[in-house]
Amino acid sequence: MKINLTDFQRDHAFYGNIDIVATIKSFNLQAIRERYLKSQKNVSGRSGSVERRKVDKGGIVSMSLENGALKLNEEFRGIPEPRGIDLKKKTFSFSAEKEVYILWPNGEKQTISNPWFSYIHTVELNRNITKLLVSSSGFDMILEYDLDSKKQSAEWLAWENGFDKAVDPNSGKPFRLTRNSELKNEDGYKVIDDPENQVLPTAMRSAFINSVSYCEDEKNVLATFFHEGAVFKINLSNGQSQKLLSGMKKPHGGREIPSGFMATSTATGEVFLRIDGSDRKIDFTKLPGKPDFLSDAEWLQNTIYLDENFITIDSNRTSFVIFNLNEEKFDVIPFDDNWAVQDLVSGTLSDAQKEFIQTISQEST
């Protein structure tokens, strides 16, 4: 069932006051739009970069949403492409290109790095703050870490689990991805066996797993495959996968919600929901507010669920869109036109966490 968001009543009061922290992967949204529009000409039909580009400097921003307006609290700039972000039980985690940071409210901190970290898109803490889930999108890999032992506890590589087929964006010729160095001289293979010195641009990835989130049992995860337009349920113990949601275009943010799960169909301007076995598509395309040059292009970066409300990052309208299905209400709250907002969480940061983020910001400047 398709639901047009504009059929809901616009209202500034139904969500109260929401404190959020967001990752801004770049403060130059226009440059990102230009790269994306150019990539639509890729022969392979897969959008995204075809070569290594310079890492952008972004930041972390804390703010509050209330009565139809955004109140900026603090802004930390100069962090290399922060994307992944999570905040649970006052413990904050975020990624900065190839590193992940975990900041406890008491000032304790932990840094995780791995040669296979590349273009990290999401990080997620489990409910007891004992494990951390990472989507290393640059290499189609999911990793899990035990925070007590400070060791990797699980790994799932798409190429070794039936998702190794990629396409050359310039020629349209298919090839297979592998990290098996014995296949270096075999036709039709691209070997990635030196991850610290090799790069796999977006359009050349097989799956482009841009988000991964724990299921309720924490034995399975939901992974969003950008190129395939689908969400898969993956068992990290045996590697088995099951497609749960499909038919999306360039999706992000597959995750469980009460009585179901959701994902954002980024390029069609829809939020896909499956609740109690019933499918719904929340359609944003009739919302006003896009620049004329974007025409009918849509880009909903991600959506989170919070206390029966959904908050969507609408990049083409540079706004946070809040909606509630039960009350049939929505609101649109603009943010800075230069912000390329990647992800967000609800909550606030401690002084110790802010101090550390400021240090990272200064070191990267």
Over residues 268-317, the pLDDT tens digits come to 999 999 999 999 999 999 999 999 999 999 999 999 999 999 999 999 99
> What pTM does this model have?
0.94
Q: Are strands 109-113 and 151-157 parallel, antiparallel or unpaired?
A: unpaired
pLDDT of 174 reads 95
pLDDT of 364 reads 65
Kindly provide the b/e burial profile for residues 197-212, where b requires at least 16 CB atoms within 10 angstroms of the residue's own CB.
eeebbbbbbbbbbbbb
Residues contacting 341, CB < 8 A, separation 6+ = 22, 23, 24, 25, 301, 313, 315, 335
Q: Report the C-alpha gap between 324 and 361 in whole angstroms.
A: 36
Q: Count the neighbouring beta carbons within 10 Å of the beta carbon of residue 73.
A: 15
Q: Report the C-alpha gap between 159 and 350 in whole angstroms.
A: 40
CA 271 vs CA 245, 300, 301, 302: distances in Å: 12, 8, 10, 9
Structure tokens at 13: 């009061």
Whether the predicted pLDDT of 51 surpasses 60: no
Res. 41 pLDDT band, cuts 50 70 90: low
Q: Count the neighbouring beta carbons within 10 Å of the beta carbon of residue 301.
A: 19
- Work out the average pLDDT over 163-190: 94
Nearest partner of 301 among 78, 22, 88, judged by Cα: 22
CATH of residue 158's domain is 2.120.10.30
Length of the chain equals 365
Domain count of the chain? Answer: 1
Domain that holds residue 292: 2-364
DSSP notation for 103-135: E-TTS-EEEEE-TT--SEEEEEE-TTSSEEEEE
Res. 237 pLDDT band, cuts 50 70 90: very high
Structure tokens at 147: 């925070």
Q: What is the tens place of the pLDDT at every residue in 100-135?
A: 999 998 889 999 999 999 999 999 999 999 999 999
pLDDT of 56 reads 85
